[in-house]
Structure 1
Amino acid sequence: MSVREVVFPAGRQALYEKNRYSPAVKSGGFLFVSGQVGSREDGSPEPELDTQVRRAFQNLNAVLGAAGCGFADVVDVTVFIVDPEQRFERIWSVAQEFWGEAPYPNVTAVGVTWLYGFQFEIKVVAKLPEPASGRN
């Protein structure tokens, strides 16, 4: 059995250890990022929806950055939204601040009834940058 290569963003390891999961795992040239929510440093949710979505993307970008990549390396996105009929358009307008230019990653949006006090969660798979070769 291989050992998981876990990626931790700076300053949040205690939160992940408390909840007993890895923020991201490297495998086969990809980075599999756990669902990121709009949590403050102590793990509590941002109360306002737009701020919660921005914080979720900031938390996601911290995980991606800790692995040496960014949102441009993301190939697959899954978003979970409580009451998507009421919140999707508002969430999607905030998400565009972080989305970047085309070509875009593929996306699956899932409506859910509960996210542990949050209204939005995003999980992604990113292609890790190729290691620099020693050849010229």
Structure 2
Amino acid sequence: MNQNETRKKILINPPGTEDIYRRMKFSQAVRIGDTVWVSGQVGGDEKGLVGEGIDAQARLAFKNLAHVLADTGASPADVVELMTFNTSMGDIRGFSKVRTDFIPENYPAWTAVGVKELVMPQLLVEIKATAVIGSRKAA
């Protein structure tokens, strides 16, 4: 890649997310060079059905995150920073167990923020991430 190509902003909207892009006016992710910024992913499936409880929602949110990352050429192992928005900080232990299923080693930086509510009242967690493609192994 030449210098101009590494600075080009690429909008990432995997199949099935185009309607969100049009209606809500945001991309699922943006890639510049090898860095990927992923918008908040929640615990709903492709039909918009929200999981029951923190375990199910965290698994769906990480599945959605992995889907968006795959569209950029990255994987959960390339995540260098996570930020989670949690409606109950009491759910952190349950969330953390699911997190280690998706990112089992070389843990990224992580900030957990307690919030009153998310975009839909039944949502318990939202995950936003930054990844660097090819950074799977920590030094």
Which residue does the alignment assign to 1:90? 94
Task: Kindly report which structure 2 residues correspond to 1:1-136, keeping only aligned pairs within 5 A, or say none.
Answer: 4-84=9-89, 86-101=90-105, 103-116=106-119, 117=121, 118-129=123-134
State TM-score, norm by structure 2. 0.82
State TM-score, norm by structure 1. 0.84
Seq. identity, %: 35
Q: How far apart are the structure 2 equivalents of 1:47 and 1:20?
A: 28
Q: How far apart are the structure 2 equivalents of 1:45 and 1:19?
A: 18
Q: How far apart are the structure 2 equivalents of 1:26 and 1:13?
A: 17
Gaps of 5+ in 1: 131-136
Greater shift in the superposed pair: 38-47 or 58-67: 38-47
Kindly indicate whether the alpha-carbon contact (under 8 Å) linking 1:10 and 1:62 is maintained by their aligned counterparts in 2: no
Q: Post-superposition, which runs of at least 4 consecutive aligned residues in structure 1 deviate over 3 A?
A: none
AA of the residue aligned to 1:98:
F
AA of the residue aligned to 1:91:
F
Gaps of 5+ in 2: 1-6
* Secondary structure in 1 matching 2:84: strand
* Secondary structure in 2 matching 1:32: strand
* Secondary structure in 2 matching 1:46: coil
